[in-house]
Amino acid sequence: MKHVFRKGTDLKAPTLLLLHGTGGDENDLLPLASRLYPGASVLSVRGNVLENGMPRFFRRLAEGVFDEEDLIFRTKELNDFLDQAALEYQFDRDHVVAVGYSNGANIAGSLLFHYQDALSGAILYHPMVPRRGIPLPDLSRVPIFISAGKNDPICSPQETEELVRLFEGAQAPVQVHWTSFGHQLTGAEVDASAGWLRKAFDLD
């Protein structure tokens, strides 16, 4: 998978896995990393799927309708890539926090749904429920930050609340930050998630 890796100065901090939204690439979220925690190592990945020339992490059948078979395949692809990248770049595979926006948040959510040890935490900006009707692994040791728009036209508040219930049903500690700026990712969300990250992983 096309990617950028930057080694951090604080090796006790989690590696931040940056996952862009539809039409983005591996450079899109790099400015967020320094705002979240400048000492962290960063692995920023580009999705392998193209939709009308725009990179994504998995196919969809329509707006809000995921291609479930492709989602499962691409989730395994990303999980396997993380295993390989950890060996190549010598970061702790058991200490990775995903930072995903929109489509990137959805593939991060899918990692959590499918693989118990894929992530040690997650920051999900405007995520949807990746799959329904499957058992989730034990996520009791995986803190999750979710930001969502009360007026998001793509991801309704009801969808967000359903996702929170699913994560909490898997025993994950979840913090939700609400905004009123639609599907847009705002500076206030980034600041709130930065504060959460420092507290959840004792980075202060």
| DSSP 8-state assignment for residue 62 | E
Taken in order 192, 16, 53, 56, the sign of the CA dihedral is negative
Strand blocks (E) in 76-143: 96-101, 121-125
> What contacts 185, CB < 8 A, 6 or more positions away?
21, 101, 102, 125, 126, 147
Cα–Cα distance measured from residue 148 to residue 68, given in angstroms and rounded to the nearest whole number:
23
Q: What is the set of active-site residues?
A: 102, 152, 183
Q: Which residues does 9 contact at the CB level (< 8 Å), separation at least 6? A: 38, 39
